[in-house]
Structure 1
């Protein structure tokens, strides 16, 4: 399968450290506090004494690489942040960040292509930690065409967060825009704590208004409701991520699937994809 947009390499200077990095003990303490764990809780989970952990956090003991690995595993620390902690302790970073077009990530690219293709005629996109769309399937392009949005946005790539929050984007096509924008803002705000680039993007976008609508308790999920020229489409939103990633690029990727929530939406998407395929043959 050929993607409608070439998957772009993810480029980051992952070994760059702050001008004045915090000592490793203080970084571990901050991560533990963010995880809302006491010293005793973390020590029990990582298999060491509370006294030893206290000495590590205060700088009276130097953690070994094995101990750092256990602590960061139990704290579920993002791989990029783990690299910074290892550097602060005087060790080399453990995790690489290969560009997505690297030969070593060929199995990852194959898996992404398979998942995108399998999702047709339902839209699916691959996004990175900055909410940048790296690839999309045929159904996504068909949906954009159905909504009257520029098809080149799919071909050239766009930022999903900006498309949802900024005026004139995909967010303006949503029936329940206030609810979806609020959920997107809250999620991005949580993620921005570990991603300065995402934090900068979020600061440049308008903060959504708080929805005055009461949640629809009759539905088990918040639906993405899209208004188009031929009626309303309703979608369930799910995410797929790679299990047990050992590369920062791979860990940053997720696929968002927009799964039709009713038969009318399935039929509309199937028809749109068929029309698009016929047009491409002409």
Structure 2
């Protein structure tokens, strides 16, 4: 059996490729003229593609979808709707072909110590973490053990999780919810998770997206402050790889850096192994 298989995240039955393109373009806030200039096709041709009067070539369709930053699984769905074969595969996380990806992830995680870093799947499951992330969860009084693992969205939004240890919990929960809600439009599993967890009571209006988020963690020995940012894999050709992202929690001040470094050095001194999943 092949380790590669394509699993569309939503049904495309009865929906033409042009209709999908129009929806994605509107969600991106682009006019037909804007998109045609970005991709280098005429506005008239784009209009004909969206209305079904013309069929985009595979190359043009690929350029349109990448310009709109459409997830790879949805790109496949549009290619199928247009009558073409899907272009991308979805590898199992334990497939041999993924070994090089795991090696790269492990290198990034270890290089980030003593700053915490975690790997998050498309469903916000934490699939790997460095030693410093485990230490931070311990300081915050959150258990990261268990057969089912830890889901970042769940532990942020559900009472009794990491969210309870955040000083700026309303802000972080609102940001997490809004990001997950956008991603859930093309991810039914994530949409179901959002229905199951509590929705934040305070949702800021017109909050501009920021590449850096200040996360303030309350611990028994005082507050820790981190700048949170994400890393994704550039130009991936695999749906599974494209869905993975690494969250980096960079100490935002000297006391936080010193506490994380001290805790990490102590962990090394007792010979504890770096937790990997």
| TM-score normalised by length of structure 1 | 0.86
Relative to structure 1, is the Cα distance of residues 204 and 11 closer, same or farther in structure 2, using a 3 angstrom cutoff? farther
- What number of residue pairs does the alignment pair up? 266
Relative to structure 1, is the Cα distance of residues 40 and 19 closer, same or farther in structure 2, using a 3 angstrom cutoff? closer
Shift of 1:148: 2.6
Match of 1:128 among 97, 121, 124: 121
Would the aligned equivalents of 1:174 and 1:225 in 2 still touch at CA under 8 Å? Answer: yes
RMSD value, Cα:
2.5
Give the alignment of 1:1-282 within 5 angstroms. 14-15=7-8, 18=11, 20-152=13-145, 157-210=149-202, 222-280=213-271
Paired residue secondary structure (1:157): coil
Relative to structure 1, is the Cα distance of residues 207 and 270 closer, same or farther in structure 2, using a 3 angstrom cutoff? same
Would the aligned equivalents of 2:5 and 2:91 in 1 still touch at CA under 8 Å? Answer: no
Would the aligned equivalents of 1:123 and 1:139 in 2 still touch at CA under 8 Å? Answer: yes
| TM-score normalised by length of structure 2 | 0.87
Would the aligned equivalents of 1:24 and 1:85 in 2 still touch at CA under 8 Å? Answer: yes
**Equivalent position of 1:7 in the other structure:** none
Aligned mates of 1:40, 1:119 — CA distance in 2: 43
Shift of 1:238: 1.4
Please list every run of 5 or more consecutive structure 1 residues that lacks an aligned counterpart in the other structure.
Answer: 1-9
Please list every run of 5 or more consecutive structure 2 residues that lacks an aligned counterpart in the other structure.
Answer: none
Would the aligned equivalents of 1:143 and 1:272 in 2 still touch at CA under 8 Å? Answer: no
Aligned mates of 1:238, 1:147 — CA distance in 2: 20
Deviates further, 85-94 or 37-46: 37-46
